[in-house]
Structure 1
Amino acid sequence: MLNQPPSAWPFLPQGGEMGALTRAFDWARSPVGPPEQWPQSLRTTVSMILASRFPTFLWWGPELIQFYNDAYRPSLGGEGGKHPAALGRPGVQTWPETWPIIKPLIDQVLRGEESTWSEDQLIPMERNGHLEDVYWTFSYSPVRDDQDQIAGVLVICQETTQQVVRQRELTLSEQWFRHVFEQAPVGVALFSGPHYVITLANQRVLAYWDRPSDQVVDKPLFEALPETRGQGLESLLQGVYQTGNRFVAKEMPITLTRQGQSALTYTDFVCEPVRDREQAITGILVVCTEVTEQVQQRHVIATANEELAIFNEELMASYEAMAAANGQLREVNGQLNRSNESLQQFAYVASHDLQEPLRKIQAFGALLQDQYSSQLGEAADYVQRMQVAAARLSRLTHDLLSFSRISTQQDSQELTPLNKVIDLVLTDLELQIGEAQADIEVNLLPSVLGDARQLGQLFQNLLSNALKFRCSATRPLITIRSTRIASTTLPGRVKPVRVAKFYYRIDVTDNGIGFDQDYAERIFQVFQRLHGKSSAYGGTGIGLAICEKVAANHGGAITATSQPGQGATFSVYLPI
């Protein structure tokens, strides 16, 4: 068959493009001669190439003469490109732009080394009038002549340029999707399969779960977040799988574990089915937005509105009674004015008239002790007791005056730096601190809206207590630090006077003798002392009551935490 001219080869179509190919080349002028002179191995290989529908190429002989089939022609750029001139020519003449890349591969096979295979290899080609980036998946294999010597290289190849470009586009699309996914202003997660394996989760949903990525991604939902089981999520997700419809849940209560503690949250969920090409549901895309703060605020407002409605009803119901009681109210107001005048007179007496006799009693007692001690005999003990009682009465009168003044609202309200207030208190207590050899550590404290004088009294009483109730065997250490906390995290026993979203908690902590926690509420009452009058710890039992009044005047609260022998912490809560 190959002894006949190419136009007569039965495996070549006669006429048309392939007929033009065989007639366009003068095989007699080729270095390999006309087909009837080819070795049997070349004839067999060319027959195989021409009969194959897979793109196939052959380099033969020392000149590396080229043969290829019709399936390879589209990669040559068609008529006007390298085809049909590439047929029967040495490769170096046809592929100057790619020869430095493919020649080493050809040489490797010709040397008898291993066949070469590559996938999606970039080999630029000149076609369609310019140099193009072309990608190939190919194998280079040896072809032996009739003497069983390697005489050529057979290349079975497939151009994969379009696939590579599409894959790059898919990769870019996936990168863009992930970028959008991560930048989404809401929490987004993808659950796959019947066990709801968390395939994807952006940073917002990880923050909502309070979990790092490696603890939840690629894990079933109820293994990664076991606390969510039995709270309604199962029904929500099962509904999507069973109906194929989007499910929406508004303000769904979900208890999560955050920072090691259970936290009730309210969340809006949108659950969208994810389908494959056959429209089968393979997963669920969940979009979630936490609305806990909004729900809590609405509950507060609703509660306030209910209370206001009840109050209005009661107000309307008592309107007539109030109108009838106006006369009595005027009389009561008169009595109150007279009472206030009496209180003012009492304050004057307590601050002047009562203090003056006390000072004389103390002065005369001191005179008796200094000048007549030798003549007093047994009466000296009575004079000493009189002096102690007078001094205690003087302190009590002074503390009562302070408590009376502090029981009203602040004298002034201005932004007050607490560090400056503490500095002034430490200056006033410099002598006591030195005598006790105490260490005082003050962290950076905030500025609050309030009365600097009253705040000074509060911290002076707390520091005085810490110095007074110190352990004799331990050097006193007092620390003052501040923390910003949300109203939702306030301890249940803390009831601030004014409601706010956030509070400053200022902790005054000592390493003193401490006290039993059962007395934590009692110590803020007037005249309440945990130690008897004759104990080594003096005082009138009014100092901590003043602290409680100052905290209340500033819209806050104060609590105490302690154990005997383990020091005490007084926490002052002030609204922001």
Structure 2
Amino acid sequence: MNDTFDLFAQSPERLDANVVFQAAGLGFWEFDPATSMITWDDRTGRLFGLTRENQLPYARFIAHIHSDDVDRVHTAIQQALNTHHGEGSFDQTYRTIGERETRSRRIRFMGRSSVDETRQITRLAGVAFNLPDESQPDTQWQRDPHEPFQQLVEQAPAAMALFSGPQLTVTVANKPMLRYWDRTSEQVLNRPLLDALPSAFGQTIYESVRAVLTTGEPAVLSELAVSVPRHEGPEHLYISLSLEPFRDAAGTITGVLAVGHDVTELVTSRQLVEARRIELMAAVDAAEISIWSLNVQTEQFRSNDRMKTLFGIPNTAEASIRFFFDRIVEEDRQRMLDSFMHALQYESGGRCEIQYSILHAVTGQKRTIRSRGQTQFDSEGIAQRFSCIAQDITVRQQAEEALRTSETRFRTLANSIDHLAWIANADGSVAWYNQRWYDYAGTDSRHKKGWGWQYVYHPDHVDRVVAFVTKAWQQGEPFELTAPIRRHDGVYRWFLIRGYPIRDAEGNVQQWIGSNTDIDEQKQVEASLEAQVRDRTAQLQVLVQNLQRSNENLRQFAYIASHDLQEPLRKIQQFGDLLKSEYNDQLGSGTAYLDRMQLAASRMSTLIRDLLSYSRIAIQPDSIQLVSLRQVIDDAIADLSLLADEADSTFRIEPLPTISGDASQLGQLFQNLLSNALKFHRPGVQPVVTITCVTVPADALPDSARSVRVADAYYRIDVSDNGIGFDEKYLDRIFQVFQRLHTRSEYAGTGIGLAICSKVVANHGGAIIARSQPGQGSTFSIYFPRD
């Protein structure tokens, strides 16, 4: 059994010994020299007949050993505890006496002492097993020491394998280990490790196994990743492999024993815990939370880096709870200490929540801290650990203070203004009025807060007001309306009510702020103006009726002018022509009188036609439609073709727009302008008429061309000639009726043509101006609004 001594001398936790020993019928025991206490598992207890306890002082324990064996056992234990004797091992077979047993048992105890860094014995531990044949207790083990070990390995639920000799030949491998390797026993037994396991797993453990064989020092390969084939797919496991030197009876290392433990659940749990820890720390960092904890019994203090930064301690420096308490300002320190000590009392529930100020260790800056902590107590109510989080609320406190200051200023301002001011909750219930409100409405409790504001509105208007503001509150939109509000003396005055929503960062309405402005005098003025408007409207209606009658009279005059007045003139001309044709020889000098009579009649007829045209244009356009100015000008030139041909005239026309207007009136406009350009040409000079168009902004209009209709931009049509021109001192006369700059003997005409042009342009919402110099021609600029 000495061959397996190194295996069993290790801690049971390391080799999963509880499982292995149970399968092999082995018990575990441990002796603590410091306390002289012996501890054992249930199996060892049954071997001793001690089933009620698992721990006894050495003096009581040794009483259960046969008296003939006590000295030998005591001496062996003392030698094992003395590091100068051998290897500190213990191997004794002796008889035990149970508490209620009449016969003794022969038990073999094997163990080894463990030492610390100073070579001091810390414990003596090992295994115990019952010898089945009391008469020959050691014969079977001495005859075949490997046989019970091989049975132990094969029966053990833990994965176990033995690598023997310089080639590390696989001499033993149980089923759990073969499952990890994904091999059969035929594939690995009696083959060198690298031949049996050429995979990455074999490569991983080879060097470590070789080192244990060479040095005799145990090794542990932690958390090796293993992929085990399954029907549903490979299963990924983690195992920890313990490597122990395997010795023969002489103590020579002949191989390496490997024991594998499935730590998949442990690894995945740790990974999950680590992931949760990372998430928690990320949340802590995001929330800018400082953390510290104190082991109340050992005074061990721990904190995160943010806590150190908050108090001004380098991250690499160690800190104590005393240092942190010393950073608390003097006026808060005792209060914080009292709160902390109170939380350590079980009766307090262990909770601590307090706000205090600190002074930064480096900058001396004062910061405000809010801490929340909780104490953990043991089963007896004794404080064990205190954990606490701390948040720097300096900025928030400053913001709150600024908000309070702002609110104070607001209320001061609101109370000093002449308006009635109020603040309402999101649902419209009023939470605050300024002093001006109470001065006006009084202090009646019915309309102080909440929905009591309804009582101050005029009964005839309150339903309208409530419906209006309720809709505005539901929609979250600013509102404005007017209504009469009762003064404290019962008098109602009109107010302009305005409300504006105050929203949070998500856009949700949190409050409403509003004002009521006294507009009673304005309302009275409006009422007076409305009365005046009604009176003026009535007067305008009378004027419109008179204008309509005047227009009707004009239409009747136009009919008379076109029929009754023109008829005698036509008779005069016709009879004059008859007299000249039939009695020309007899008239003699009377022919000249007839010519003068007919010329006067013709002038009168032309004057009547021009007046008729002017009167029609003065009334309104006949029809409005889209009109091409180029087409209008082409038609006018065609009508003037005889006059143009006689003077050998030239027309230069640039692209022209299409505008909304009356085609007939626009035709008269351009026919008059072109006719004047041809009529007033310079003798011996070929008439040249140029028509251009540009777009100009409203602010570019000259003062003399203020349009009737306002527009953003205008078309400027320039009609220019190279005629005789005129002096610009007559600009205020040329667009008036019957105004002439030349005698009839020089140039024919009635003096109405340009007046007609001005009226046509005005009817189209435009303006017309002229520029000229004597002997240098004239330019007439027409401005039409660009729609």
TM-score (norm 2): 0.32
TM-score (norm 1): 0.43
